[in-house]
Amino acid sequence: SNGILTVCVSGAAGQIAYSLLPLIARGDVFGRDQPIELHLLDIKPALDALHGVVMELHDCAFPLVRNIVETDDPMVAFQHADVTILGGSFPRRPGMERRDLIAKNVNIFKAQGQALDRVASKNVKVVVVGNPSNTNALVLSHYAPSIPKQNITALTRLDQNRAVGQIAMRTGVNADQVEGVAIWGNHSATQYPDVTHATVNGEPVMPKLGGRQAVAEEFIPCIQKRGAAILKARGLSSAMSAASAIGDHLKSWILGDSKIVSMAVASDGSYDVKPGVYFSFPVRCSAGGDYEIVQGIEMDEFSRKYVSATTEELFAERQEALELCAV
Ligand code: NAI
């Protein structure tokens, strides 16, 4: 490209985007010397609201922002996209079955996958945020066969950050003194926030959290249900923390990270998770957009039980999604 990074945000009139766009535009994600072109996608009824967001972006006078495109057409939004953040999805309504939620989203991610396949950079880096994010990533990948599977990811960095934040708070340290937390599986209530290898200042976290039973009864459910707790308290789902996590995810992925981080990526058989789903693993990111699933992490009976439950849920979602793709 011409040195300008084209960053597309879908769901750009939504609340996550409202927190995310200033991070990107200021240079907090891709660097203070990386000029940006923003492609903002939302649906037609939200275009007026989106225009208001664009007016505010102009009013921020960010020097790194070289151009802004606002559109309801994925073919326009994904044109030459280097990075794509997909937050636009159909939200779960009270009483909605998983199958109905997946059905609504299959249509969205089918259209977006096909558009991405046709007009994005073949090296585009995608992070799917809209729920059910792992399965939306799978559908997207299914309809974007020319985009390498490993270039498509789903966000579980928020879950990792939540776990790190809780450990820091409960043990009275700073967040950067916590290491080795991993998120396994689905970004849902079956996710496994794994602290069996986590440390605080190099010492095991498990005993500091009260041991296995306390972790199983208290810590793990706290992380699994954190999204619901925020929704109850705020009357709105997490947005600031989600935006911050998206920034962290992309920064680690694109610029590299000396620490191990979690993201949902195409499974490759590691840890007995058969290929075919987007599954959160601990990964090591090297600069330039390459990453590897960390191998050789020891998994005891305690961990295996959680990993198999979340694997089962993801394969059930996959089944439903692929049936809907076939019709
Ligand atoms: P929001 O409802 O404020 O915004 C969503 C935006 O997407 C709206 O402006 C809507 O018009 C737009 N949209 C809907 N369908 C679209 C389509 N087909 N194409 C383009 N845009 C479309 O929601 P918010 O709070 O910004 O959250 C976005 C998504 O992220 C939700 O699905 C939410 O559940 C999910 N989420 C995921 C997290 C994760 O860790 N993976 C964390 C927090 C939220």
Residue nearest to atom 42 of ligand 1 (CA): 242
Q: Tens place of pLDDT for every residue, the chain, 327 residues?
A: 579 999 999 999 999 999 999 999 999 999 999 999 999 999 999 999 999 999 999 999 999 999 999 999 999 999 999 999 999 998 788 888 888 899 999 999 999 999 999 999 999 999 999 999 999 999 999 999 999 999 999 999 999 999 999 999 999 999 999 999 999 999 999 999 999 999 999 999 999 999 999 999 999 999 999 999 999 999 999 999 999 999 999 999 999 999 999 999 999 999 999 999 999 999 999 988 999 999 999 999 999 999 999 999 999 999 999 999 987
Residue nearest to atom 20 of ligand 1 (CA): 42
For the question of whether the overall pTM of this predicted structure is more than 0.95, the answer is yes
Asked if residue 272 lies in contact with residue 286, where contact means CB atoms within 8 angstroms, the answer is no
Q: How far apart are CA 292 and CA 278, in angstroms?
A: 14
Q: How far apart are CA 327 and CA 323, in angstroms?
A: 7
Backbone angles phi, psi at 38, to 5 degrees: -100, 130
63 alpha carbon – ligand 1 mean position (Å):
27
ipTM of the complex, rounded to two decimals: 0.98
Asked if residue 73 lies in contact with residue 113, where contact means CB atoms within 8 angstroms, the answer is no
Asked if residue 159 lies in contact with residue 262, where contact means CB atoms within 8 angstroms, the answer is yes
Q: How far apart are CA 127 and CA 289, in angstroms?
A: 13
Of the candidates 67, 230, 81, 251, the one whose C-alpha atom is nearest the C-alpha of residue 159 is 230
Query: For ligand 1, what atom is nearest to the CA of residue 156?
Result: 40
58 labelled catalytic: no
Of the candidates 124, 123, 146, the one whose C-alpha atom is nearest the C-alpha of residue 77 is 124
Task: Tell how strand 182-184 and strand 178-179 pair up.
Answer: unpaired
Q: How far apart are CA 188 and CA 319, in angstroms?
A: 17
